Amino acid sequence: MGTPIASLLTRNLHEVFGEADAPRRRAAIAALFTEDARFLDHDAARMGHAALDQAVTELQARFPGWVFRERDTPRVVGEAGLLAWAYGPPGEAPRVTGQDVILTRDGRIQQLLVFLDPPQG
């Protein structure tokens, strides 16, 4: 994975957003995110571990069984990182693509910004 920030990006994608087991996901959130972490996406801005967990729970309920995968290697500059990802049913073409941008503090994610790509087609 290269750097600690690259590891945070990939772990967030798989251990938080890709984790269906709620206790494991909450443990990952606690390990990867600062207590005052902010999560911003196209729907809303959320703050804190519980709000992030709720957002992931809702996403997984809306798209049961879908999986995340990296589209490229993580990119890092300073205390920030970027990861392009794809999301969709396993074994099928992705239905959604986007990028995660993180800003870190003390080795943990302090802000997560999610940018969705425009729909293809």
Residue 14 belongs to what domain range?
4-116
What per-residue string of b and e applies to 52-72 under the rule 16 or more CB within 10 Å gives b? bbebbeeebeeeeebbbeeee
Q: Residues 66-80: what's their mean pLDDT?
A: 97
CATH of the domain at 47: 3.10.450.50
pLDDT digits (tens, 9 = 90+) for 37-68: 999 999 899 999 999 999 999 999 999 999 99
Q: How many domains does the chain have?
A: 1
Q: In this structure, is residue 121 part of a structural domain?
A: no
pTM of this prediction exceeds 0.75? yes
